[in-house]
Amino acid sequence: MRFIVFGAGALGSLFGGLLSRHHDVLLVGRKEHLSAVAKRGLTIEGITSGVFRPDTEWDGSSYDMVLLTTKAYDTERAAREILATFGKMPVLSLQNGIGNEEVLADVFGREQVMGGVTSHGATFVENGRIYHAGTGETLIGMLDGRTPDMLKKTADAFNRCGIPTTITSHIQREIWKKTMVNAAINGLTSILRCRNGFLLENEHASHLLERVCSECSAIARAAHMDIGEDITEKTREVARNTAENISSMLQDILKGKKTEVDEIHGAFAAVARVHGISAPINEFLAQAIRAMENVRHLG
């Protein structure tokens, strides 16, 4: 298959590199990263190790689908750019947060949009070099639960390249679950400035984790989203498996970058409002993290 990876940061480059084992891959991303890849190849260290050679310049030929791995706040801009440059095509979002697929459906049409969640973790080392930090399953699915050929081909293509992938007819549920886990881990580690594992070790932090999870579960119930498992337990398990990680949101804050707060806490607070319930913890985390994006630190 022929893939475009749009938003080739750490995760996008990981998928692009792995897929380039057996498929044509075009990376689209920051100029400096892409010119390093063009010169020396894409180096992946950690769980995967090797130098991969995805394309970094478009020669005008057509592609089968786009893998979207930009930050969630860039979804609409990215979708319009893809449409203007490459035309209408199938798109798979592997982004964080709730609502990306709806934005994509408005631009590309619902039948072209796939959602995905992945347990792979990657960090950016330097231009042309990434670190493959965590592995696990990738789930992909259509918004309406159908299993068209395009979805099957994509899963086969991923599996063939060492990205274990399963098709689900409940991708929205998986996206909600992942976002609930992110709301607890990313939000709390950001305001506490701690590694993920601290949320299990410290009794106060652990209590906060339970409170975020139970508020998110109440929002899911109000929205008739059947989560099908205890999200507090799931969140503890993820925190345990990623105990040494600095969450992506805290990394953004530490680098003075914009976070995905609006697509995580902001999104839960908005869904709660639509269903007439209150979401004080998500509202608080949303405001606190937006303030942290702008604060000038003393000393």
Instruction: Give the residue numbers marked as catalytic.
Output: 178
Shortest Å distance, C-beta 258 to ligand PAF = 14
Question: For residues 90-109, which are near ligand PAF according to CB under 6 A?
Answer: none
Binding of ligand PAF by 11 (CB under 6 A): no
Question: Rule CB under 6 A: which of 215-244 touch ligand PAF?
Answer: 238, 242
Nearer to ligand PAF among residue 75 and residue 186 (C-beta): 186
Of 219 and 249, nearer to ligand PAF (C-beta) is 249
Please report whether residue 186 would count as binding ligand PAF according to CB under 6 A.
Answer: yes
- Told to check if 123 binds ligand PAF by CB under 6 A, we report no
The 3-class SS string of the chain reads: CEEEEECCCHHHHHHHHHHCCCCEEEEECCHHHHHHHHHHCEEEEECCCEEECCECCCCCCCCCEEEECCCHHHHHHHHHHHHHHHCCCCEEECCCCCCHHHHHHHHHCHHHEEEEEECCEEEEEECCEEEEEECCCEEEEECCCCCCHHHHHHHHHHHHCCCCEEECCCHHHHHHHHHHHHHHHHHHHHHHCCCCCHHHHCHHHHHHHHHHHHHHHHHHHHCCCCCCCCHHHHHHHHHHHCCCCCCHHHHHHHCCCCCCHHHCHHHHHHHHHHCCCCCHHHHHHHHHHHHHHHCCCCC
Does residue 185 bind ligand PAF (CB under 6 A)?
yes
Among 20, 168, 182, 259, binds ligand PAF (CB under 6 A): 182
Residue nearest to ligand PAF (CB): 248
Q: Report the residue number, 112 or 196, with the smaller CB distance to ligand PAF.
A: 196
Stretch that binds ligand PAF, among 9-17, 178-186, 210-218, 219-227 (CB under 6 A): 178-186
What is the rounded distance in angstroms from the CA atom of residue 122 to the CA atom of residue 197?
18
How many residues lie near ligand PAF (CB under 6 A)? Answer: 9
Give the contact letters, 247-276, x = binds to ligand PAF (CB under 6 A), - = no. Answer: xx----------------------------
Q: Does 69 bind ligand PAF (CB under 6 A)?
A: no
196, 232, 259, 282: which one binds ligand PAF (CB under 6 A): 196
Residues that bind ligand PAF (CB under 6 A): 182, 185-186, 196, 238, 242, 245, 247-248
